[in-house]
């Protein structure tokens, strides 16, 4: 008789995400499609030429929201920017600082240093989805930047719907609880920007990645 498999334990999101950052395969489950691998290899590498095209839009002091293991925070610092990464995952903050970047374990909706004075807020790698409410997130970032500041946002390409999701991370030894997330494509951005008190200044495509620059109305 086969031994019964041990049940997979449930852990906090931060714990399962840390497994991914340490190299364990992790998938993302939603109710709307098949499980997808978490693209951690895209985050733990060094900044590539397409990343640098995004970063050229970052003017002055830059807040990297959802910095992950810090490739963009570190690349900004190496180019002379004042740059701060924030992430809710302690392992992400540790990896960012090991790369030479500055980072805090902080939720973007928490009180943050320099509120209202950042020149740029950066949302790369799908982080427009944080919290499952793009309008709330963009409104919060508008309040973090200065009156003449900008948001640099990575989006899905044309045809990508704005979709609110309930997602879950799964690895071999643990699973997270479900958490809210969102997908946003370039088609839906003007309406989201307007509702957030922002205007779309530019949209560019670099290779297969889409980048938008937003500013306050």
Give tens-digit pLDDT for 68-107.
Answer: 999 999 999 999 999 999 999 999 999 999 999 999 999 9
> For residue 161, what is the DSSP state?
P
Q: What is the pLDDT confidence band of residue 3, given thresholds at 50, 70 and 90?
A: very low
pLDDT tens, residue by residue, 32-42: 889 999 999 99
Q: What is the pLDDT confidence band of residue 4, given thresholds at 50, 70 and 90?
A: very low
Task: For residue 113, give both structure tokens.
Answer: 């240093």
Question: Going edge to edge, which strands form the sheet with 83-87?
Answer: 103-105, 83-87, 62-65, 118-123, 145-155, 209-216, 198-206
pLDDT tens, residue by residue, 35-61: 999 999 999 999 999 999 999 999 999
Residue 64 near residue 83 (C-beta atoms within 8 A)? yes
Domains of the chain in start order, with CATH, are: 9-41+53-60+107-216 (3.40.50)
The percentage of residues in the chain with a pLDDT greater than 90, rounded to a whole number, is 93
CA distance 76 to 62: 8
Composition of the chain by helix, strand, coil, percent to 5: 30, 35, 35
pLDDT at 83: 98
Q: What is the pLDDT confidence band of residue 2, given thresholds at 50, 70 and 90?
A: very low
DSSP letters, 76-88, are HHHTT--EEEEES
Residue with tokens 């670099």: 206
* 28 contact partners, CB below 8 Å, separation of at least 6: 35, 36, 37, 38, 167, 168, 169, 170
CA distance 147 to 154: 21
pLDDT at 33: 81
Residue with tokens 């959802």: 66
Mean pLDDT (whole number) for 189-215: 98
| pTM of the predicted protein model | 0.94
Widest distance between CA atoms in the chain: 69
Q: What is the pLDDT confidence band of residue 5, given thresholds at 50, 70 and 90?
A: very low
């Amino acid at each position: 008789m086969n031994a019964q498999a041990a049940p997979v334990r449930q852990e906090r999101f931060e714990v399962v995400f840390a497994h991914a950052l340490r190299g364990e395969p992790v998938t993302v489950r939603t109710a709307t499609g098949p499980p997808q691998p978490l693209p951690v290899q895209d985050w733990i590498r060094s900044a590539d030429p397409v990343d640098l095209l995004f970063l050229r839009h970052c003017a002055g002091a830059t807040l990297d929201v959802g910095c992950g293991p810090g490739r963009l925070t570190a690349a900004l610092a190496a180019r002379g920017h004042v740059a701060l990464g924030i992430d809710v995952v302690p392992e992400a903050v540790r990896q960012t600082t090991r790369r030479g970047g500055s980072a805090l374990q902080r939720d973007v909706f928490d009180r943050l240093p320099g509120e209202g004075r950042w020149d740029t807020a950066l949302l790369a790698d799908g982080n427009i989805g944080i919290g499952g409410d793009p309008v709330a997130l963009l409104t919060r970032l508008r309040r973090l930047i200065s009156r003449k500041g900008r948001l640099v946002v990575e989006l899905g390409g044309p045809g990508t719907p704005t979709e609110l999701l309930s997602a879950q991370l799964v690895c071999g030894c643990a699973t997270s609880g479900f958490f809210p997330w969102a997908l946003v494509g370039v088609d839906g951005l003007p309406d989201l920007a307007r509702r957030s008190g922002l205007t779309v200044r530019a949209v560019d495509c670099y290779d297969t990645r889409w980048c938008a620059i937003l500013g306050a109305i």
